[in-house]
Structure 1
Amino acid sequence: MSKGDMEKGKGKIKETVGKVTGDESLEAEGQTDQMKGKARDAGEKAREAGEKMHEAAEKAREATKRRDA
């Protein structure tokens, strides 16, 4: 489970407790936590995509070196 997933889960709990108790502040805090979790997940996916692009570029560079040698 990722940190983003944990943050989204924590936020969902806060939001639900806020709704049940009528605590609008806690409900809003839960929604904010969920958005933070989604943002964290998106950042992680972007980082992973960047790493894959870097790996692909390295492989292409190595293939070019072998071809030109």
Structure 2
Amino acid sequence: MATDDKAANKKDELVGKAKEKLGEATDNEQWQAEGKSQQAKGNVKQAGEKVKDAFRD
């Protein structure tokens, strides 16, 4: 289960980065903001997974 969560979190980060770059390329501020938000969401979830992993060991 944790591996699936980590993969989903990483996907959020990558999709967010792509969306942000696409927004920059097309001068679309909404896509830029959504991309940054999605990256942040993925980063926060990844941090939570790392904390859980630390307590599992």
Q: TM-score scaled by structure 1?
A: 0.70
Higher Rg: 1
User: Shift of the alpha carbon at 1:33?
Assistant: 0.5
Aligned-residue CA RMSD (Å): 1.1
Q: Report the Cα distance in structure 2 between the residues aligned to 1:8 and 1:15, rounded to whole angstroms.
A: 10
Higher RCO, 1 vs 2 (CA within 8 Å, ≥6 residues apart) = 2
How many pairs are equivalent?
Answer: 52
User: Shift of the alpha carbon at 1:3?
Assistant: 1.6
Unpaired runs of 5+ in structure 1? 53-69
Q: Report the Cα distance in structure 1 between the residues aligned to 2:24 and 2:50, rounded to whole angstroms.
A: 31
Moved >6 Å (runs of 4+): none
Report the identity percentage.
Answer: 35
Q: TM-score scaled by structure 2?
A: 0.83
**Amino acid in structure 1 at the alignment position of 2:39:** Q
Unpaired runs of 5+ in structure 2? 1-5
